[in-house]
A and B are shown apart, each in its own frame.
Chain A
Amino acid sequence: MRRLSWVALVMVVGVALVVGTRDDGGAPTRDERAQSLAERFRCPTCKGQSVADSDAPASEFIRDEIDRQLGEGRSDDEIEAYLVSRYGSSVLLTPPRSGIAALVWVVPVAALVLASAGLVVAFRRWGRSWVPT
């Protein structure tokens, strides 16, 4: 009975997840692209906000520029490269994945992997010496 309950549970969860992660299909619209691009860049005069969120004049100008270049048919990468070439790599909200900046992506993952491995090893070692009471 219990087992059946768990099986039913797994099925319900599975169906719900499939329904929920269905793609709404279609390529992103220009507005959606503009929004997601704007979220990639840091407002240069604010403290950590994205260009999408900020009201500062510098952000507005960058948003206008993004819009203009989208109108010219540039790709997301081209627009990103342009802005980096004018404002410097600090305008990106996420550090690039190459070069020294890659460390910030790699280190936490490496640390977690190491820690988990350490835990597994420790549990193995302790498990062997466990004596049932």
Chain B
Amino acid sequence: MNAAVGSAGVALGLAACVAGVLTLVVGIRRGRPPLLAAGRSFVTLALLGAVIATLAMERALVTHDFSVQFVADNGSRATPLLYTIASLWSALEGSLILWVLVLTGYVVAVRHRFRAQADDPLVSWALVVLLAVAAFFFALLAGPANPFREVAGAVPSDGPGPNPLLQNHPLMAIHPPFLYLGYVGFTVPYAFALAALITGRLGEGWLSVTRRWTLLAWGALTVGIVLGAWWSYEVLGWGGFWAWDPVENSSFLPWLTGTAYLHSVMVQERRGMLRVWNLSLLIATYSLTILGTFLTRSGVLDSVHAFSESAIGPWLLTFFAVVVLAGVGLIGWRGDRLRSPGRIDSPLSREGAFLANNVLFAAFALVVLLGTVFPLLVEAVRGDRISVGTPYFDRMTGPVVLALLFIMAVAPVLPWRRASGQLLRHRLLWPAWAGAGALVVAVASGAHGLGPLVAFALGGFAAGSAIRQLVLAARASRRAGRSWFHGVSGRANGGMIVHLGVVIVAVAFASASSYQTERTVRLEEGESARVAGHTVTYLGVERSETAQRRVVKARVQVDGGDVFTPALSEYPNATQTIGTPSVDWGLREDVYLTLQASPTIEGGPAVIGVIVEPLVSWLWIGGLLMAVGTALSAWPGGRRRPTDPSSMWSAEAGTEPVSSSAARSEAEGPVGTAARGPA
């Protein structure tokens, strides 16, 4: 019954999307508003179809309906309820259901938000694109990746359950939904970009209006990536959080181009420039989300996430090609309308910095993409197998990250159009001292090595610059009679907070990777060992058993204080033993404990792995700050009409003066507090 209802939901969704696309297209071409209205109502039906499919599958999972193939493959009576619900997205077909649910949700939201412009062909074209994409995914669900297939033959009484690694930690339940909110969210600006290209209305502010959607998608993707790193750290047991794994990389690639886009689009708003860059970045971002899905779902690359090979590989690849070609083709077609009215006057200007920013992020993305797919290319051409691992990525991306930190420091103080060296020296003095201070503190705490030290110095520099902006904005806002909160909200200020988060993450990454100490110790009960200034004492084991697994926990006391329990678990349906690390986290450093070998005889010694990693917790704090900054950045300010031309302010070099100290007026941001608030 579940299968029938679920399949009906999928069919409904597919039909609704196709019908919606057709009616909208005809309605636009023939200029018939009633058809447009009909098209929009299909949007609701599509969402309904997705909801039905989701509920049907969840019901099948929760009631252990093993007649459904997906449940037979991924469900189990022994799995706790939370993980059973989350097992919807633990495997390919179910995750597609999540994808269409999120997508149709977004489409309904878009329709609601733009209902005032409902008859505008541009909005209708955007809906067409969105529905066409949804139709593709519904088609996948109806065909090659059908989760509601019934089990051929006898219905099993129990299933293997999700991979044990996926049952280990509640983070598993939220990491994929956030990622999907991000990936799928990028469909919206993509759709509007295509719509603008199709209608040729490229001078208007559509990309600015959809900026908040892009920001939301980007923020969700950021959170998803950070959660993934956190999960890797807490669950996988190797003390690391980023392995440049193909799946990690494929979530990182759209993040990179998306970040470049979010910055570069400000140039388009201000000066009407870099339009081709922006469209390309947007199309690249969206197509990279599809490529990423392809790489992880088709089994083409090895990864922790590559659940299986699947028939959907060729489909996704084709879709990827279509997405790219549609975008590139439309850009080519409308090329003449994309010439910008202005020129970048000087490299030493905000525009110049953003352009350099684009180039750096593009280089970053190229390196990551190349490194990820290179083994594949080599194998196809030569038949040799080579690997591209962490050392490559670290070495190649390191300099790019340093350059980006530098730009993060300098760009916020650069005015539009042109700056003088004198102006820069004046504004950057304080941040530069912050950078020097950070360097001195790092060296004094024992850090060494040129790479990490330069990273710390530049990080301090960038942080100093961001803080300076925030302080100036808060003061200006107080002087203008508003609360200090206006100094930290709005686009530019929220952006500075995100920058702070990025700096913290970069610094934490550098220090956790470069300065960790790892030792394996064999301890009798009651015996202690000292690792990097911490004392670990092994107290004994606890054994327990549930329907889900059999667990051996070692009790380890750290520094005479709390007791932690790294464990080894055996799952009945899997042959591997899964280790669960236990982390004594602290602001200065984490003590990361794993149970390598449990005692073979009662009361015997155990082998404990100890890794001491400095500043790891700041990764999560930095990530949180990025999320907060994103939310603040999207804080409602003035509203713009989408049809306003996008470069109203190209004439002047800036808006209100906000200088607090110097007598000369500084024509710079932050400008988020004025009527030019985010759309």
Which A positions have Cβ atoms within 8 angstroms of B? Answer: 2, 5-6, 9, 12-13, 16-17, 19-22, 24, 39-40, 42, 47-50, 53-55, 88-96, 100-101, 103-105, 107-108, 111-112, 115-116, 119, 122-123, 126-127, 129-130
Contact = CB atoms under 8 A, between A and B. Distances in A.
Contact of A55 (B344, B388, B579): B579
B601 interface: no
Instruction: Please list the 5 inter-chain residue pairs (A to B) with the smallest Cβ-Cβ separation, ordered nearest first.
Output: A93-B389, A90-B385, A20-B443, A53-B238, A108-B367
A126 B243 contact: no
B363 A108 contact: yes
Interface string B424-450: 011001001101100110110001111
B596 interface: yes
B390 A119 contact: no
B359 A12 contact: no
Interface of B: 237-240, 243-246, 302-304, 306, 343-347, 352, 355-356, 359, 362-363, 366-367, 370-371, 374-375, 378, 381-382, 384-392, 395-396, 425-426, 429, 432-433, 435-436, 439-440, 442-443, 447-450, 453-454, 457, 579, 594, 596
Contact of B388 (A20, A91, A94, A112): A94
| Secondary structure type dominating chain B contacts | helix
Contacts of B384: 89, 100-101
A108 B396 contact: yes
A93 B343 CA distance: 45
A101 B388 CA distance: 10
B518 to A, nearest CB: 8
Given A47-B302, A116-B359, A95 B386 contact: yes
Contact of A42 (B355, B387, B425, B579): B387
Given A16-B439, A103-B374, 20 more contacts: A2-B425, A6-B425, A9-B436, A13-B435, A17-B450, A20-B447, A20-B449, A21-B449, A47-B304, A47-B306, A55-B594, A55-B596, A89-B385, A89-B386, A90-B385, A90-B387, A92-B387, A93-B391, A94-B388, A105-B392
B431 to A, nearest CB: 11
B370 A107 contact: yes
B389 A13 contact: no
Contacts of A104: 370-371, 374, 388, 392
B440 A5 contact: no
17 contacts: A6-B425, A9-B433, A13-B436, A13-B439, A16-B436, A19-B443, A21-B450, A55-B596, A89-B386, A93-B388, A94-B389, A94-B395, A95-B374, A100-B381, A100-B382, A104-B374, A115-B359
Contact of A95 (B303, B352, B392): B392
A37 to B, nearest CB: 12
Contacts of B304: 47
Contacts, number: 154
A21 to B, nearest CB: 5
A68 to B, nearest CB: 18
| Secondary structure type dominating chain A contacts | helix
B387 A108 contact: no
B238 A20 contact: no
Contacts of A92: 386-387
A83 B274 CA distance: 50
Contacts of A129: 343
A122 to B, nearest CB: 8
A127 B453 contact: no
* Residue of B239, B395, B433 with highest tally of chain A CB at under 10 A: B433
A6 B363 contact: no
Nearest to A54: B238
A41 to B, nearest CB: 9
Contacts of B449: 20-21
A22 B378 contact: no
B640 to A, nearest CB: 26
Contacts of B454: 17
Contacts of B387: 42, 48, 90-93, 95
A119 B440 contact: no
* Residue of B359, B371, B385, B388 with highest tally of chain A CB at under 10 A: B388
A126 B432 CA distance: 30
A91 B237 CA distance: 21
A103 B370 CA distance: 10
